[in-house]
Amino acid sequence: MSLKLELPIYMDNHATTPMDPRVLDAMLPYFTKKFGNPASRNHAFGWEAEKAVESAREQIARAINADPKEIIFTSGATESDNLAIEGAIGMYGATKGRHIITLKTEHKAVLDTCKHLTSAGAEGEQGDKAGQTAKGALAKGVLAEVTFLDVEKNGLVDLKKLEAAMRPDTVLVAIMAANNEIGVVQDIAAIGKLCHERGVLFFTDAAQAVGKVAIDVKAMNIDIMSISGHKVYGPKGVGALYVRRKSPRVRLSPLIHGGGHERGMRSGTLPTPLIVGLGAAVELAVRELPEESRRLRALRDRLWNGLRAKLDHIYLNGDYENRLPGNLNVSFAYVEGEALMMAIKDIAVSSGSACTSASLEPSYVLKALGIGEDLAHTSIRYGIGRFNTEAEIDFTIDTTVKAVQRLREMSPLYEMAKEGIDLKSVQWSGH
Amino acid sequence: MAYSDKVVDHFNKPRNVGSFDKTDPDVGTGIVGAPECGDVMKLQLKVKDGVIEDAKFKTFGCGSAIASSSLATEWVKGKTLDQALEIKNTQIVEELSLPPVKIHCSVLAEDAIKAAVNDLKKKQAASQTAETAKS
């Protein structure tokens, strides 16, 4: 059987996912016919929209073993991350403490929010009056103190190091469930247990994890959790935040003020079609998770084994076992990542080389693994998703192998390595 | 970011990829950049009667870096060493329509030419000194 491949192939499913047509079908009526404002309490249009929103809330709650009242709709995981961290400091900073622990490999939405809170002037912008009553330790206007923990070489956090970083004033631990670059899945249940034993709130950004690995907020002792729509074959522009209501009851200071929607934590008219899409997408992904994760894992193994069989000097970034089933992040030594992407242009992937960024800095996540900037520049992230096929994986192996071989033939580093020159010993004229 | 047609052309069909013998007295070798910065260029010139008769390159770097060095090998051919030193990175930027974030690729190519020319001049000076010493 010969199937003709449709090019280009999309294999960048950590960046975003195409919407599942079943999700689109669920959304469509809410753009035109059922367009009411869910907050309109006095007519059928509003009731219809409200019913749809509440049904989506139930779908999401069921998928993660939460109560529907614990789901807050947002514009996406970035907003959810901001609300979780700033909101927790705003609510508990003055009473429980201002110390946050997070990882160096977190998403920028978490890292930058943390950095913002540690900068002078954070208070003015956030309008957190509690800041003024904070006990002496922090400079004026600074709302939090943050520990950015290192991860191990495999990308996982060492629980002993996490425990050692906890202080009496630690109020929040922010550790992502699954990493967006290297796909490693942290031991969320163990982290949650540790946090609850120590009376610290546990927030996890699960944008990459929901619908890909099983999440149970109760069993895993998660207090706050970010969810994204477009990472699970749902629409862009919508996300959710799980906020625990019991043992402990968590409250967050809002970032967006207005009509008091979403239990006062997030004002703004609810985008019914997007929320319906999010609900349908999360429900679908979690329902199909066991079978789909086996399928993705098989495709991922096929890709990794295929590349390894034909190429030497290639390195896996991040732990292989504790990993999203569709993620493969590989460094192809002596070949720059952006050039490799250009050479395999029929396959859409990402690179940690970040050669396009003005700073010319390679991925901070890869650097945090300690793999060295030279290898970080040679990395490719394959994000295999729901619509990828075995034929596409085989094409990807073939195309990547040929491109790496071609680029190595024109790589001075490969030539030097073959001559037995230790590249680390060379005096480079770096600029 | 989309690449210009000329960058794509040089990337897909790079000119003069390869290596000369570094120890050849008529070959000048310039290696610039660093693996940690994501680009290393090796540019080699071969001279005959004061004129660059051939050039080769190998580059570890993005598509624009590969295109810049490929173009540089084309441009130096037929020039004297001093003429080759007159090639400016801005000419490479213009020819390949490089965007601002890729200007460093053209700078690297200019540096590679300079390094190769200097290597050759050093070799020539050394051999002249050796000649003088002998006589």
Write down the residue that tokens 């004061």 correspond to.
Answer: B50
Catalytic, out of A355, A413, A416, A417: A355
Q: Could you report the per-residue pLDDT of A14-30, keeping only the tens digit for each?
A: 999 999 999 999 999 99
Q: Which residues 329-348 of A have a C-beta within 8 angstroms of B? A: 334-336, 338-339, 342-343
Query: Is A134's pLDDT higher than 60?
Result: no
Q: A226 forms bridges with which residues in the sheet?
A: A205, A241
Say whether both A240 and A339 belong to one domain: no
Say whether both A246 and A321 belong to one domain: no
In a domain, A14, yes or no: no
Question: Which residues of chain B are modeled with pLDDT < 70?
Answer: 1, 135
A420 lies within 8 A of chain B by CB: no
B38 lies within 8 A of chain A by CB: yes
Say whether both A96 and A182 belong to one domain: yes
CATH number at residue A239: 3.40.640.10
pLDDT band at A87 (very low <50, low <70, confident <90, very high): very high
Could you give the domains of chain B? 5-124 (3.90.1010.10)
In a domain, A95, yes or no: yes
Whether A385 contacts A288, CB under 8 Å: no
In a domain, A279, yes or no: yes
3-state SS class at A353: coil
In a domain, A428, yes or no: no
Whether A380 contacts A397, CB under 8 Å: no
Whether A99 contacts A296, CB under 8 Å: no
Domain region containing A78: 21-287
Whether A282 contacts A232, CB under 8 Å: yes
Say whether both A267 and A312 belong to one domain: no
Of A360, A373, A411, the CB nearest to B60: A411
Query: Is A131's pLDDT higher than 80?
Result: no
CATH number at residue A385: 3.90.1150.10
Write down the residue that tokens 């629980």 correspond to.
Answer: A159
pLDDT band at A377 (very low <50, low <70, confident <90, very high): very high
Query: Is A1's pLDDT higher than 60?
Result: no
Among A259, A287, A315, the domain boundary falls at A287
Query: Is A130's pLDDT higher than 60?
Result: no
Say whether both A306 and A159 belong to one domain: no
What is the arithmetic mean of pLDDT over A350-377? 82
Say whether both A237 and A256 belong to one domain: yes
Question: How far, in Å, CA of A277 to CA of A236, rounded?
Answer: 10
Joined together, the tokens standing for residue A400 give 């990547």
How much is the pLDDT for B130?
A: 82
Provide φ and ψ at A102, rounded to 5°. -140, -175
Say whether both A262 and A241 belong to one domain: yes
Q: Please state the domain count of chain A.
A: 2
Say whether both A264 and A297 belong to one domain: no
Among A287, A303, A336, the domain boundary falls at A287
* Mutation site for B-interface testing, chosen from A313, A338, A424 by largest number of B Cβ within 10 Å: A338
How much is the pLDDT for B129?
A: 84
B59 lies within 8 A of chain A by CB: yes
